[in-house]
Every structure is written in structure tokens, then in C-alpha cells.
Amino acid sequence: MTAQIIDGRRVAEELRRLLRERVGALNAAGGSAGIGTLRVGDDFGARMYRGAVAKTCSGLGLRSRAVDLPSTAGREEVEEALQSLNVDEGVSGILLLRPLPPHLEEASLAERILPHKDIDCLNPANLGRLFGGRRAWPPATPAACLELMERRLAEQGVPAAEGFAGAHVVIVGRSPSVGRPLAAMVLNRHATLTVCHSHSARAGVLVEICREADYLVAAIGVAELIRAEHVKPGATVIDVGINEVVECAGCGRRVPGLVAEPADVTQVCPACGGLLDGSRRVTVGDVAFAEVAEVAGALTPVPGGVGAVTNVMLARNAVAAAEMTR
Ligand SMILES: NC(=O)c1ccc[n+]([C@@H]2O[C@H](COP(=O)([O-])OP(=O)(O)OC[C@H]3O[C@@H](n4cnc5c(N)ncnc54)[C@H](OP(=O)(O)O)[C@@H]3O)[C@@H](O)[C@H]2O)c1
């Protein structure tokens, strides 16, 4: 392996240490920071994310308040719940957990979050500021990607004021929560930018474009799609993906797309034909870690990379929001 492994857990711990000091100073000055989360329905991912946010809050001495509504909640009920968080002085930042049930429109509900409490940059007013190159709370996952890339830039001796200094950043994925806001954020920091997506893959240009990247970000949601052939030697690779796959006990092949409990797994391995029953479930990123580590200059692991830093970014925004209103 030649790549430097970017240790997200170590970065997160360092950021938590700095945040604890800020929280101490804030409390001493009579202020208080806290995160209010609103979950509508019972999505598993949203529940897990909330648990992780609550844990981050308790580790930093931040308050956390959880509001739950049933999946049948109407628009008015959700708006009322958001308003109760808007007026709660102990809540400096609000997180509307996703996904929302299909009958609720995220963008128009996000408009109800007070812009200065909108710590995941969901309110279109804040997104507009971000895309206009103005100050806004950076959304947590893109902020975690940027934090890790900026550390790498600093290691490479690029002065912070120069940002990416024109280096080519290629982002694969254009979702509203990751790829698009990250594109605005790196552009605001003087990157030369290309964004790819499923149509780039269909047009057959994905490998060629990715190979031009000095910084390659994979936010796709397809297990190990980015292979060694996508990576320019020495490039920095940031893996946002979180995918669960089954690793065949017989031949070691990783098979995506199986969501049943291990006991229910009756599928056969496409490589060796053996039953996958009893095989191990593993979490992998969008990047084929082992082979890309032979080519890249630096690489984030999954788990322990971007995901480890994401919650701390949310907390950092909540603390900054409380400092602003102190
Ligand atoms: N670490 C964290 O904190 C964190 C936070 C959020 C998400 N995630 C993970 O990050 C991944 C992406 O999440 P997301 O919410 O951005 O996903 P998403 O909304 O499904 O967006 C996926 C993007 O990837 C593109 N894409 C899909 N297949 C592709 C292919 N074969 N080649 C090139 N591009 C392709 C899609 O293109 P189109 O636009 O053309 O459809 C889309 O833009 C997921 O694994 C998710 O679990 C991690």
C-alpha cells in the first residue's frame, strides 16, 4: 500500500477537543449550545443518525432535544414542531432528519427553519448563499469532506488563503445533500471543478475524467465503484459512500444489494456459486479501498473517514450559531 490513510477518527477527536474548549467558554459567558432534531416517521437511517448526533452532543457538553412525529404527520404538524425548535433558546441548531415521508416536501419545510439555526444548510435561503459564494452554515457531510481535503492541502504546503489553488477537484455524485453543496464549497475555495454523475458513466467518460482529478470525491452510493483505473497516481481520494455488502465465505467476493438478515440469505455467490448463507456483512465505501490505496497519494477509509467527522461538523455549526447569538 502506498497511499497515506486519512484517519477521520483522529481528525474528529482533535476537532472535538477544540470544540470542548469553545463550549466551556460559551457556558462560562452564560450562553448555551444545543442541537434539536426532528424525525418524521421511523426510518432506520434517521434513527441511527440521531443516535450518533446525540452521542456527539453529550460528549461535547451540548444539549440535545429530540422531537418525533408519526409518518402520518401533516405539513402543519411538522411546521409547528420546527417552530417549537426555532423558539427554544436551548437549541442553537436544528436538524431535520431525512428521509421524510413522501407526502412531505423537504425544501418548503426547510424554509421554516430559522436561517441562523439551519446547521445542515437545508433552508433554500442558506443554500442560495452557499451557491452565491457568501457565508452560510456548511452542510455537515460536505463540510467533513472539505475539512479532510483542506488538511491535505496544508500538508502539501498550499497556504490556506489559496484554497485549492486551482487544483482539479472531481466530484462523482450530484445529490442535493452531498455532491451539489460540496461543488459550491470547493468552487468558493478556488478549485477547478468537474461534477460527474450517472450520465457521465453512461456516456463512458467517467474513468477518463476521474483520472484527471487531483482531489477525487466519491459520493455515489455504489459499493466500490471507483477502482484503481479511475485514480491518477498520487491523487487524494475522499470516499463518502456507506454501503453494506455480503462477503462470500467461500471465495471472498463482495456482493452488493443484499438486505435480508443473514439467516434469510439464500442467494448464491455470482463468482463461486456457493450459498451466501453464513457469509459476513461488511460496510464498504464507493471506492475499492485496497486497489486504490496502491495508486492514490492519500485515501479516506470506510468506516473511519468522512463519516467520523460529519457529526462533529454539525456540532461545530451549532456551537458557532450559539456564539453568534450570545
Ligand atoms: N459519510 C457520511 O456522513 C454520509 C452522509 C451522506 C451520505 N453518505 C453516503 O454517500 C453515498 C451517496 O449519498 P447521496 O445521498 O449523495 O446519494 P444519492 O442521492 O443517491 O446520489 C448519488 C449520486 O451518484 C450518482 N451515481 C449513481 N450511480 C452512478 C454511477 N454508476 N456512476 C456515476 N455516478 C453515479 C447519481 O447520479 P444521478 O444524479 O445521475 O442519478 C447521484 O448524483 C451513499 O453511500 C450514502 O450512504 C455518507
Domain extents in the chain: 29-121+312-325, 140-309
Confidence of residue 195 (pLDDT cuts 50, 70, 90): very high
Q: Could you give the percent of the chain with pLDDT greater than 90?
A: 81
pLDDT given for residue 154 in this prediction = 97
Confidence of residue 269 (pLDDT cuts 50, 70, 90): confident
- Same topology, domains 29-121+312-325 and 140-309? Answer is yes
Cβ of residue 98 lying under 6 Å from some atom of ligand 1: no
Ligand 1: residue whose CA is nearest its atom 32:
198
Q: Could you give the percent of the chain with pLDDT greater than 70?
A: 96
Cβ of residue 45 lying under 6 Å from some atom of ligand 1: no
Cβ of residue 219 lying under 6 Å from some atom of ligand 1: yes
H/E segment holding residue 104: none
pLDDT given for residue 258 in this prediction = 58
Give the atom of ligand 1 at the shortest distance from the alpha carbon of 285: 45
- Mean pLDDT over residues 167-181, rounded? 96
- Mean pLDDT over residues 92-110, rounded? 95
Largest CA distance in the chain: 65
Q: Name the packing angle between helices 179-188 and 140-155 (round to 10°).
A: 40
**Ligand 1 centroid – CA 199 distance (Å):** 13
Q: Which residue has the cell 492519500?
A: 298
- Mean pLDDT over residues 128-135, rounded? 93
66: three-class secondary structure by DSSP: strand
Give the atom of ligand 1 at the shortest distance from the alpha carbon of 307: 1
pLDDT tens digit sequence for 60-90? 999 999 999 999 999 999 999 999 999 999 9
Sequence-separated (6 or more) residues with CB below 8 Å from residue 264: none
| Cell numbers found for residue 110 | 426547510
Cβ of residue 220 lying under 6 Å from some atom of ligand 1: yes
The answer on pLDDT for 126 being more than 80 is yes
In contact, 111 and 82? CB cutoff 8 Å: no
The answer on pLDDT for 194 being more than 70 is yes
The answer on pLDDT for 278 being more than 90 is no
The answer on pLDDT for 277 being more than 80 is no
Tell me the CATH number of domain 29-121+312-325, given options 3.40.50.10860, 3.40.640.10, 1.10.10.10, 3.30.465.10. Answer: 3.40.50.10860
- Mean pLDDT over residues 91-100, rounded? 95
Give the atom of ligand 1 at the shortest distance from the alpha carbon of 144: 3
**Ligand 1 centroid – CA 90 distance (Å):** 34
Cβ of residue 52 lying under 6 Å from some atom of ligand 1: no
Strand partners for 39: 68
Q: Name the packing angle between helices 140-155 and 306-325 (round to 10°).
A: 100
The fold of 140-309 is: Rossmann fold (3.40.50)
pLDDT given for residue 325 in this prediction = 82
Q: Which residue has the cell 489559496?
A: 162
pLDDT given for residue 268 in this prediction = 82
Cis peptide before 99 (omega within 30 of 0): yes
pLDDT given for residue 265 in this prediction = 57
Mutate which of 56, 178, 282, 310 to test ligand 1's pocket (most atoms within 8 Å of Cβ)? 178
- Mean pLDDT over residues 212-223, rounded? 96
Give the pairing type, strands 243-247 and 254-256.
antiparallel
**Ligand 1 centroid – CA 259 distance (Å):** 18
Cβ of residue 243 lying under 6 Å from some atom of ligand 1: yes
CA atoms within 13 A on the CB side of 270: 6
User: What phi, psi does 233 have (nearest 5°)?
Assistant: -55, 130
- Least trusted range by pLDDT, from 238-247, 283-292, 297-306: 238-247
Average of per-residue pLDDT values in the chain = 93
The answer on pLDDT for 263 being more than 50 is no
Ligand 1: residue whose CA is nearest its atom 40:
198
Strand partners for 237: 216, 299
pLDDT given for residue 260 in this prediction = 52
Q: Greater confidence, 165 or 259?
A: 165
| Burial of residue 56 (number of CB atoms within 10 Å: 0-12, 13-18, 19+) | buried
**Ligand 1 centroid – CA 146 distance (Å):** 17
pLDDT given for residue 262 in this prediction = 54
Cβ of residue 303 lying under 6 Å from some atom of ligand 1: no
Mutate which of 170, 209, 217, 220 to test ligand 1's pocket (most atoms within 8 Å of Cβ)? 220
The answer on pLDDT for 264 being more than 70 is no
Cβ of residue 69 lying under 6 Å from some atom of ligand 1: no
Q: What does the alpha-carbon distance between residue 48 and residue 145 come to, in Å, rounded to a whole number?
A: 20
